[in-house]
Chain A
Amino acid sequence: MNRGALPEMIHCLTIPANIAGNNGRAGIAMRVLERQQQSGTHLNEDYQLRMFSVPSVEDQQFQGLVESDQGIGQLVAQAMKPDPGVEDGRNNFCRAESSLNYAGCVFGNGSKFEMNYPIPRTASCPPAVAAAMPEVAAVANKGKEAALLEKLGSAAGRESFKKRKSYKTRDLKVVAEEQSREKKAKGYIEEEDSKITEQNSNSKSTTTTTSNNNNKETSADNSKGNSKLSEIPKLDYIHVRARRGQATDSHSLAERVRREKISERMKYLQGLVPGCNKITGKAGTLDEIINYVQSLQRQVEFLSMKLAAINQSLEFDIENFIAKEMFPARISSIPTVGMSSDFINPSHLQFNSLPQGVSCYGLEMGVNLPDVILRRTISAPVSMPEIFLESSNLNQIQHSSWDPELQNLYGMEFHQGKSTSFNTQPFTGFTEAGDVKL
């Protein structure tokens, strides 16, 4: 097959590929093949693409947590788990790859795919379609049509994402596991001849698609431990294996499982609490979590106080609020602006001048200063951190490092705020920089 004939071939094969995209399993098979194909020449640029899509994983996890916090800890742990037997350079690549699943939904924003292929999400994968997949990959492998496959992959990923959403999180979990398993297999096979590799992984992907269906139905609970456990399809008890030199009596095994569970969840908590992922040790992490929860609780107190001060009745103008919410980008910059100009506008001053307000306020800050201006300067950092906490969650700036930064920013902001026309430019720039860094 020469290169000239390839585009037509691919064009023909896009149709089965799209049908395959209908199904979550087949979508994954496709992704595996795609990855294999890319690992040849396009590794560098694809790697970058993947890396760019990584942030969406975190978001995905958030949503997962909102929907059901059950499976998410495991999912995260699996996403974090490095693959053994994969060489160093590839390691990052593979980890980024594991996020492709979720990245699909972000990349899949190109709605033209949706319009072109409105697919009902009901059918289960017919084996013929899965069998069609190797051909696609074989052609693509020779042709190196990375861009086309990338698009297809993203469409399929999106489809599979939706499919998965319609299932429960356990399905998500299983899929993630399957991916990692395949990755491992892939890592070993990679060394061999490319042709053989192709066949091997193709057969593997098809077998895992079938076995995955079994998995999905049976092993909801087994898969909780770690990815190794869930490879055994039908088990209703937890299978634990002691390593060499470890105690094997039931108590210590149970204790080990418990500890693993705790550490898994702690890991996820670390991801959730900003500035927590660089702290080692359980005590430090717990400290940080406590601080974060306390700060959130205080913010709720503070905000309810503020709302009480602003509105004289309990009725709020909802239309106004909804209108504001139409522009979330604008809103996101409002807190910074609002907080800074707060301390100049009369409503806030009124709030400060109220006797009860002052006492509450002072207690909350732990500082009770008579001077209004001083109070302004002190109260600001308390309300400010959340904004920076959010961005520091992305930037992964540590608590200690952003604190002085915050002070500086606030100082600058205060000077500008005095002239009541506040320039939002530096702040939006700051958040944008945070996004770009990811």
Chain B
Amino acid sequence: MKARMGYSTSLKQEFLQKWIKGLHIYSNFKKDMSILERKKAIKLSADVAIASTRNSSTRWSRTLTANISKNVTNKILVEQIFSDPEVIKNKASNRLITCSNRIASRKILRRSHITQIRARKMGPYAVKASSIAKKLVKNRTQVLKSLVPGGENMDEISLIKETLDYIVSLRVQVDVMRRLASAAEHSTRSL
């Protein structure tokens, strides 16, 4: 366990640095936030930071940054946390184009799928166990796609790959946040 901590420390440190930077930027934007606003700010900056640690090499991080930077103020934050904003812009625009392509192809796929289903319903045979299992797996894959950012447009292989990466990053995020929370808590208690 200790060994694992050692491995991801560099990632954690990077995340922490960027996160703190993001928080700093946010606190310059606005003073006297309510608790909900603060929570939102913390979460957003943490998300941007964790996405930027992956250096937009993964699709989920790109989608996350793209989603966050829809808002104008957030966009500034994102650009400041990422050192070179040009890269993100390019990647984001590329992504959008590929998205539209994919949506079109998905529509075609769905249409063909519907015809398949019709053909199957015509048949007299009963529902098989294997088809039920397939359906279950499909449902779950859909849920997973909705959970991983940008997962809607992924095929199964890349979805699993991205999920792996996402889980590791989330773990780092949770770990750092928890440590910071406990540290902050201790400091407030001692004061």
Q: Do A and B bind each other?
A: yes
Task: Indicate if the CB atoms of A69 and B165 lie closer than 8 Å.
Answer: yes
B5 contacts the other chain (Cβ, under 8 Å)? Answer: yes
> How many whole Å from B1's CB to the nearest CB in chain A?
6
CB of B1 within 8 A of CB of A289, answer no
- Give Cα distance in the complex from A290 to B148, angstroms: 10
In the complex, the answer to whether A338 meets B182 with C-beta atoms within 8 Å is yes
Tell me which of B136, B180, B182 contacts A316 (CB under 8 A). Answer: B180
Chain B 145-178 per-residue mask, 1 if CB under 8 angstroms from chain A, else 0 = 0011000000011001101111110110110011
Which residues on A sit within 8 Å (CB–CB) of B165? 65, 69
Question: Which of B20-28, B66-74, B95-103, B119-127 touches A?
Answer: B20-28
Report yes or no: B160 in contact with A300, Cβ–Cβ below 8 A: no
| Pair A310/B8 contact, Cβ less than 8 Å | no
- B56 on the A face (CB < 8 A): no
Binds A, one of B37-45, B86-94, B105-113: B37-45
Q: How many contacts between A and B, using CB within 8 angstroms?
A: 194
A349 within 8 A of B: no
Do A314 and B188 have beta carbons less than 8 Å apart?
no
Q: Any chain B CB within 8 A of the CB of A217?
A: no
Q: Which residue of A lies closest to B4 (CB)?
A: A59
Interface residues of B: mostly helix, strand, loop or mixed? helix
* Interface residue A266 (Cβ < 8 Å from any Cβ of B): yes
B182: chain A residues at CB < 8 Å are 324, 331, 334-335, 338
Of B24, B143, B147, B163, which is within 8 A of A269 by CB? B163
Known: A65-B168, A356-B35. A316 touches B20 (CB 8 A): yes
Decide yes or no whether B3 CB sits under 8 A from chain A: yes
The residues of A that contact B163 with a CB separation of less than 8 Å are 269, 289, 293
Tell whether, in the assembled complex, residue B187 and residue A265 are in contact, meaning their CB atoms are under 8 Å apart: no
Q: With contacts A266-B160, A293-B166, A316-B184 known, is A307 near B177, CB below 8 A?
A: yes
The digit string for A300-326, where 1 denotes a CB below 8 A from any CB of B, is: 110111111111011111101100110
- Minimum CB–CB distance for B179 against chain A, Å: 6
B-side contacts of A294, CB under 8 Å: 147
- Which residues of chain A come closer than 8 Å to B7, judged between CB atoms? 59, 62-63, 66
Cβ of B129 within 8 Å of any chain A Cβ, yes or no, is no
Q: In the docked arrangement, what's the CA distance between A106 and B3, Å?
A: 8
Q: How far is the CA of A316 from the CA of B27 in the complex (A)?
A: 11
Task: State which residues 246-286 of A face B: CB under 8 Å.
Answer: 258, 261-262, 265-266, 268-269, 272-273, 281-283, 286
Say how far B26's CB is from chain A's closest CB, in angstroms.
6
In whole angstroms, how far apart are the Cα atoms of A321 and B23 in the complex?
A: 15
Separation of A394 and B2 alpha carbons in the complex (Å): 12
Question: Closest approach, in angstroms, between the C-beta of B20 and any C-beta of chain A?
Answer: 6
Are the C-beta atoms of B160 and A265 separated by less than 8 Å?
yes
Tell me whether A357 is interfacial, beta carbon within 8 Å: yes
Contacts of B39 in A (CB 8 A): 304-305, 307-308, 360
Is B133 at the interface (CB under 8 A from chain A)?
A: yes
- In the assembled complex, the Cα of A267 lies from the Cα of B147 at a distance in Å of 20
Q: Which of B46-99 contact A (CB under 8 A)?
A: 46-47, 58
Q: A314–B35 contact, CB under 8 A?
A: no
Q: B1 touching A394 by the CB < 8 A rule?
A: yes
Given A59-B7, A300-B173, A317-B187, check contact A324 B179 (CB 8 Å): yes
Does A287 count as interface, using CB distance less than 8 angstroms?
Answer: yes
CB of B137 closer than 8 Å to a CB of A: yes
Minimal beta-carbon separation of A255 from chain B (angstroms):
12
Instruction: Indicate whether A297 reaches chain B with its CB closer than 8 angstroms.
Output: yes
Cα-based distance from A311 to B39 in the complex (angstroms) = 10
Q: How far is the CB of B31 from chain A (nearest CB, A)?
A: 8
Closest-CB distance, A324 to chain B (whole angstroms): 5
Contacts of B187 in A (CB 8 A): 317, 320
Q: How far is the CA of A329 from the CA of B6 in the complex (A)?
A: 12
User: Is A227 part of the binding interface, using a Cβ–Cβ cutoff of 8 Å?
Assistant: no
A114 within 8 A of B: no
* CB-defined contacts of A258 to chain B, threshold 8 Å: 157
B161 engages A314 (CB within 8 Å): no
21 contacts between A and B (CB under 8 A): A63-B7, A258-B157, A261-B157, A265-B157, A269-B163, A293-B163, A297-B147, A299-B177, A300-B43, A300-B47, A308-B36, A314-B23, A320-B187, A321-B184, A324-B182, A324-B183, A335-B178, A354-B35, A357-B35, A431-B1, A434-B1
Q: A300-B173, A307-B39 are in contact. List 19 more A-B contacts (CB 8 A).
A: A66-B11, A73-B164, A258-B157, A283-B137, A286-B143, A290-B144, A292-B167, A293-B147, A293-B167, A296-B167, A296-B174, A297-B147, A297-B170, A299-B177, A307-B180, A316-B180, A334-B186, A342-B185, A356-B35
**A-B complex: 3 closest residue pairs judged by Cβ atoms:** A286-B140, A63-B7, A308-B38
